[in-house]
Amino acid sequence: MAQEKLLLLKNIRTKGYAADLAAYRAAGGYKALEKVLGKSQGGMTPAQVTEAVKASGLRGRGGAGFPCGLKWTFMPADPKDKPNYLICNGDESEPGTFKDHYLLMNDPHLFLEGMILGCYALSCHHGYIYIRGESMYLIHRVRKAIDELYAEKLLGSNILGSGFDLDLTVHPGAGAYICGEETALLDSLEGKRGQPRFKPPFPAQAGFNGCPTTVNNVETLANVPFIINNGPEAFAKLGTEGNSGTQLVSISGHVQKPGVYEVEMGHNLKSLIEDFGGGVRGGLKLKAIIPGGASSPIMRPESIDIPYDFDSVMKAGSMRGSGALMVFDEDTSIIELANRTIRFFNHESCGQCTPCREGTFWLKNLIRDFVDNAGSEELMQRVDRVAGSILGNTICAFGDAAGAPMQAFGRVFPEEFRKHFLR
């Protein structure tokens, strides 16, 4: 039986962990912050922190898997005219993902320590934490944790006597999927309608309020304390080549034990479902999985005996994305799944780019035909063509997120579509 590899969930898995500042400190929390900012151990410069994160090979856990340390080096090292900003993306809107929510709710200080370290590395003096407004309780939770830090002078001016000042603000989003896209998030944070911006300029050049900005996922930042405490090598040793560390996997769907599990990068995908998810519930057979949230292409059970990390899943024709594993048993109708998926994407498209705005609307209607048992070979090809025409032709990745899974449904499960042909 496979075991969890606990880096991030160590405290959470400890029975009776209170998740407040005292409990976090008792469990060895804010040691990394002492190490970096405190006088006792000589401290670390921002560049050294960035270097450590870079050496650890930490990749962004939000979905794209961009190397975190590399992203940090795009920021101006010595901000003069404009302040640098670090913004934490806690929008977590990808259907099937609930790991950031779990982490923030049950151990907010782990994330906050990472956030403070990140701000220090980027010479940022005001960080923002963007959390979707639906989960107000979560926002209260994080705000309470921040209040604890201010009370203990771990936030505010001159943290630990280092001369480093930092304020953190929690900003509730208004609940749009697209606001999880980093530039749409910035617009939303600025008080505008959340719409992705075209790049260049990238956020590191002109982001929040036109200032250099880095946007990181909650889980990504939560990894930073471990890297500082144990050194980048300890982190890089975990996982597979190019995919270091552990990962939080949100398993949902037709499994016995849905939930958030922490495993090493590259853990076998099949084992995730069977050993942690407890296998398909009700003794049914596995029909399909979606390995990285609703925007990743569907996979057949035959092709899931692969390591679960960014590169391996990509090689298998899908995406690891945000680590949202959705499991479907043999009673699932793929057409209904496709219908639900495209309705979601149509509803959530910001409406800016033509292919995505009109394409998702068209696809929704096409899939509806299959739901009504009025499909045909021609319509199947049209689904593929329309979805393919959205791919890569939009400002942000939403177009890909909507188009790729729709193409995959027809490619991976053509027989399911044929069942719904007009007879």
Partner 1 sequence: MPTFYLDDQPVDFKQGETLLQAADRAGIYIPRYCYHPGLKITAQCRMCLVEITDMGNGRGMPRLQASCATPAAENMRISITSEKALNAQKTVNEFQLVNHPLDCPICDQAGECDLQDISFLYGTGRSEMNYEKRVSGNRDVGTFLMLERNRCIQCSRCERFSRDLVGTHDFAVFNRSHEVSFDTYGDHRIVHRFQGNLADLCPVGAITQRDWRFRKRAWKLKKTPGVCTTCSTGCNITLDSHQNHIYRISPRENLQVNRWWLCDEGRINFRGLNYHPGSSGPGAGPGKKTPRLEEPQLKARGKARDGGWDGVLEALAPLLKEVAAAKGSVAALADTHATNEELFLLKTLLAEGFGSDKLFFPLQKGKAELRAPAGLEDTFLYSLINTDKSPNTAGAQALGLKGLDGPDALKGALGGKVKIMLVLGSPWEDDPIAGDISTLADLVIYLGVGGNAWSKTADVVLPGFTHAEKYGSFVNRNNLVQRIRPAISPPPQARDQVRTLCSLLGALDREANHADGRDVLAALGAAEGPFKGLNWEALGDGGMPLPGKG
Strand pairing category for 259-264 and 286-290: unpaired
Of 125 and 193, nearer to partner 1 (C-beta) is: 193
CB of 387 to partner 1, least distance (A): 11
CB of 411 to partner 1, least distance (A): 19
Token pair for 403: 């188009």
Token pair for 139: 């926002």
Of 18 and 174, nearer to partner 1 (C-beta) is: 174
CB of 391 to partner 1, least distance (A): 9
CB of 77 to partner 1, least distance (A): 25
Of 308 and 362, nearer to partner 1 (C-beta) is: 362
Of 228 and 342, nearer to partner 1 (C-beta) is: 342
Identify the burial level of 2 via C-beta atoms within 10 angstroms of its C-beta, where 0-12 means exposed, 13-18 middle and 19 or more buried.
middle
CB of 385 to partner 1, least distance (A): 8
Identify the burial level of 375 via C-beta atoms within 10 angstroms of its C-beta, where 0-12 means exposed, 13-18 middle and 19 or more buried.
buried
SS3 category, 327: strand
Of 278 and 351, nearer to partner 1 (C-beta) is: 351
Of 49 and 353, nearer to partner 1 (C-beta) is: 353
Specify which residues 293 forms β-bridges with.
291
Q: How many CB atoms lie within 10 A of CB 345?
A: 26
Of 177 and 261, nearer to partner 1 (C-beta) is: 177
Q: Rounded distance, CA 397 to CA 394, Å?
A: 7
Residues binding partner 1 (CB under 8 A): 176, 178, 193, 198, 200, 346-355, 357-362, 365, 382, 389, 392-395
Written as one letter, the residue type at 152 is E
Please report the beta strands in 91-238, taking only residues with DSSP state E, as ranges in sequence order.
126-131, 167-172, 213-217
CB of 58 to partner 1, least distance (A): 25
Q: Rounded distance, CA 42 to CA 133, Å?
A: 41
Tokens 């304390």, residue located: 225
Specify which residues 360 forms β-bridges with.
none
On whether the CB atoms of residues 294 and 300 are closer than 8 A, the answer is no
CB of 127 to partner 1, least distance (A): 28
